[in-house]
């Protein structure tokens, strides 16, 4: 028997990503609160654009994404030439890691940070370096203390996933100032649109040539099924990233829906307001059951239980009730469950189910 070829260093250190549950046995009425999806779907404008694009499926899409770049730039007050688009923001993060890290380099991420960060480091043969957070919030001093001559990239999610906590703009700016010019700071702003008046790191990009901001259409825009993301960085960085981007990485269907979605800011504002209201109600409802959660700036909360056993028992109870949430032991939070903020009925259903679980154990 011949020996199979060896993969590149780091590849075998990657454990396949596990998505949030989408089914619950024989339960017909399933409430999925495991993947941070928008309970309202996407805007009617995006749906219409998606349908129109279906008439030209035989045509290759544009390679420069210029119309989407321009729409994003106009809505957010950015320079269109400094935008790159990808298959979800994950692909933009992959471009960054592929271009700026490799064997012998180090990539910093925080202990409760998005699980893709260490996987991306391993994929290029770099060493992922995990630094502690402080009460589930990114700790700037811990990050700066972990920087070595081998450090090439620092990843932070802000707001964080799965914590929902947010580092103040002044602290992110302090982090950017404290890094060497040859270290990229990646500000992952997947949940930025849920924060009133937040720029997602755009100001930092304007001030520092070594900052990259990433954003997504999967969350508040409700286009998770289409996988569209984007990044914003210095022209020199964007030029490098575009050299590894496949020319047809986004279809015309994706581009058309995203353009319509980003221009429908009335839909975004309504989703943001409803999410804030329902999120606070859910936090208070669970607190009444002695299940605490940090203030969240995203479309989910991190519910903390007495210990891992109680969290797992509650998750099982919820599944039997047809409610799907996310266990986050893999994020170093075995005693927690991440719960997406649904619509009003969804929030009441999950709160009622958790109350019934607590009562069953009293």
Q: DSSP string of 302-339?
A: EEE-SSHHHHHHHHHHHHHTTEE-EE-GGGT-TTEEEE
Alpha carbon of residue 54 to chain centroid: 28
- Look at residue 79 in the predicted model and tell me its pLDDT: 98
Peptide linkage before 159 cis (omega within 30 of 0): yes
HSE-CB at 13 with a 13 A cutoff on CA atoms is 16
Q: Distance between the two ends of the chain, CA-based, in angstroms?
A: 61
pLDDT tens, position by position, for the chain (362 residues)?
667 777 888 777 877 666 666 665 555 689 999 999 999 999 999 999 999 999 999 999 999 999 999 999 999 999 999 999 999 999 999 999 999 999 999 999 999 999 999 999 999 999 999 999 999 999 999 999 999 999 999 999 999 999 999 999 999 999 999 999 999 999 999 999 999 999 999 999 999 999 999 999 999 999 999 999 999 999 999 999 999 999 999 999 999 999 999 999 999 999 999 999 999 999 999 999 999 999 999 999 999 999 999 999 999 999 999 999 999 999 999 999 999 999 999 999 999 999 999 999 98
Per DSSP, helices labelled H in 128-251 are 140-146, 169-178, 202-207, 235-242
- Look at residue 11 in the predicted model and tell me its pLDDT: 76
Residues whose CB is less than 8 angstroms from the CB of residue 18 and which lie 6 or more positions away in sequence, other chains included: 330
- Look at residue 315 in the predicted model and tell me its pLDDT: 98
Domains and CATH numbers, the chain: 11-41+266-360 (3.90.1150.10), 44-264 (3.40.640.10)
The secondary element (H helix, E strand) that includes residue 98 is: helix 88-100
CA neighbor of 93 nearest in space, from 61, 136, 124: 124
β-bridge pairing 211-216 and 229-232:
antiparallel
- Look at residue 12 in the predicted model and tell me its pLDDT: 78
- Look at residue 9 in the predicted model and tell me its pLDDT: 80
φ and ψ of 290, to 5 deg: 65, 35
Cα–Cα distance for residue pair 78/10, rounded to 1 Å: 36
- Look at residue 76 in the predicted model and tell me its pLDDT: 98
Residue/partner pairs of 70-78 with CB below 8 Å, 24 or more apart: 71/258, 71/259, 71/262, 71/263, 72/230, 72/262, 75/262, 75/263, 75/265, 76/199, 76/202, 77/202, 78/202, 78/232
The answer to whether residues 342 and 300 touch, using CB atoms and an 8 Å cutoff, is no
Cα–Cα distance for residue pair 123/27, rounded to 1 Å: 38
Peptide linkage before 162 cis (omega within 30 of 0): yes
Residues whose CB is less than 8 angstroms from the CB of residue 180 and which lie 6 or more positions away in sequence, other chains included: 147, 151
Cα–Cα distance for residue pair 245/192, rounded to 1 Å: 24
Cα–Cα distance for residue pair 3/172, rounded to 1 Å: 48
- Look at residue 28 in the predicted model and tell me its pLDDT: 65
User: Has this prediction a pTM greater than 0.85?
Assistant: yes
């Amino acid at each position: 028997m011949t020996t199979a070829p060896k993969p590149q260093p780091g590849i075998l250190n990657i454990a396949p990503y596990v998505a949030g549950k989408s089914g619950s046995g024989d339960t017909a009425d399933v409430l999925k609160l495991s993947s941070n999806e928008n309970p309202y779907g996407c805007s009617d404008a995006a749906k219409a654009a998606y349908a129109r694009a279906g008439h030209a499926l035989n045509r290759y899409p544009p390679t420069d994404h210029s119309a989407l770049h321009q729409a994003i730039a106009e809505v957010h007050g950015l320079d269109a030439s400094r935008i790159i688009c990808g298959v979800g923001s994950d692909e933009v993060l992959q471009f960054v890691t592929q271009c700026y890290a490799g064997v012998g380099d180090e990539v910093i991420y925080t202990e409760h940070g998005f699980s893709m960060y260490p996987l991306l480091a391993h994929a290029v043969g770099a060493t992922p370096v995990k630094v502690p957070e402080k009460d589930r919030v990114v700790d700037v001093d811990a990050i700066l203390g972990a920087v070595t001559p081998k450090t090439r990239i620092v990843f932070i999610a802000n707001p964080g996933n799965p914590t929902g906590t947010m580092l103040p703009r002044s602290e992110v700016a302090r982090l950017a100032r404290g890094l060497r010019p040859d270290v990229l700071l990646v500000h992952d702003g997947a949940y930025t649109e849920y924060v009133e008046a937040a720029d997602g790191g755009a100001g930092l990009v304007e001030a520092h040539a070594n900052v990259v901001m990433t954003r997504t259409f999967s969350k508040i825009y409700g286009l998770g099924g289409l996988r569209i993301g984007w990044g914003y960085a210095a022209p020199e960085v964007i030029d490098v990233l575009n050299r590894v981007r496949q020319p047809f990485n986004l279809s015309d269907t994706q581009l058309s829906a995203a353009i319509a979605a980003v221009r429908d800011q009335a839909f975004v504002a309504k989703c943001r307001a409803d999410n804030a209201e329902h999120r606070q109600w859910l936090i208070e409802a669970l607190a009444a059951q002695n299940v605490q959660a940090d203030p969240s700036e995203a479309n989910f909360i991190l519910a903390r239980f007495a210990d891992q056993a109680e969290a797992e028992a509650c998750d099982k109870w919820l599944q039997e009730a047809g409610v799907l949430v996310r266990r986050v032991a893999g994020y170093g939070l075995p005693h927690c469950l991440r719960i997406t903020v649904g619509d009003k009925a969804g929030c009441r259903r999950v709160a009622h189910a958790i109350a019934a679980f607590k009562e069953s154990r009293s």
